[in-house]
Amino acid sequence: MPSPTFKFPAETRRKGQLKRAWKESHGTALLGFALLILLAGTTLIWTTPPPAESPDLESLANGSEPAAELPENALLIRVATDQTAATGPIRIAVYDSLEAFGNPEKAIIKDALQPIDGFVVWEIDLSFLPEEFSIAAFHDLDDNGVLNRALLNAPVEPYGFSNNARNLFGPPTYEQTLVKRPAEPEVIEIRVY
């Protein structure tokens, strides 16, 4: 015969007070709100790029020498990565429409360049570019030609876009990455992370 369990009246009363206090103070809602804040903070930390100690073009000049002149009638796309030990190329694509954006097969210009000390510089003749365009780049760490993805389709290789556009969830929109064709030679900098 099972022995009956006996609860002390004070213990039962204390447990009832705790349950009542939890309900009155909306404990479940507050716990849910705290978890939501934790999730949002974790997402922000995960999507924030690491601080970059990369020199700009002017600081690359040696001492008193003037900075190098930009090529005539050209756009330089300078892509920086913090994966300096990786051997894979940085793949860059230029898109001219929303329909083509994100599909390398529909890019108007694309190339794969080997980074040197964490940088690649790609020169494009301004006459090849449409009035407005978008640039996407990623560091193909394993040199398989595609941007590797993990759980929930999140990229696992460093990537970036013109205007250094980023979204918390998913890639930026085509409009966020649009760049107008410059009239004069110019440098566009993109950081992949």
Contact criterion met (CB below 8 Å) for 115 and 90: yes
Domain ranges of the chain: 14-47, 71-192
The predicted model gives 5-30 an average pLDDT of 73
- CATH of the domain spanning 71-192: 2.60.40
Q: Which amino acid is at 34?
A: A
Nearest to 174, CA basis, from 126, 131, 135, 139 = 135
Q: Is the pLDDT of residue 64 over 50?
A: no
pLDDT-derived band at 65 (thresholds 50, 70, 90) equals very low
Beta bridge partners of 121: 78
Q: What is the pLDDT of residue 158?
A: 94
Contact criterion met (CB below 8 Å) for 190 and 77: yes
Radius of gyration of the chain (CA): 27
- Give the model confidence (pLDDT) of 93-149 as tens digits: 999 999 999 999 999 999 999 999 999 999 999 999 999 999 999 999 999 999 999
Q: Is the pLDDT of residue 185 over 70?
A: yes
- The residue that leads in pLDDT, 24 or 78, is 78
Q: Is the pLDDT of residue 44 over 90?
A: no
Q: Is the pLDDT of residue 157 over 60?
A: yes
Q: Give the position of tokens 């013109």.
A: 162
Q: For the sheet containing 74-81, what is the strand order?
A: 119-125, 74-81, 186-192
Q: What angle do CA 49, 32, 37 make, to 5 degrees?
A: 20
Q: Is the pLDDT of residue 51 over 60?
A: no
Q: How far is CA 133 from the centre of its chain?
A: 19
Q: What is the pLDDT of residue 80?
A: 94
Q: What percent of the chain has pLDDT over 90?
A: 53
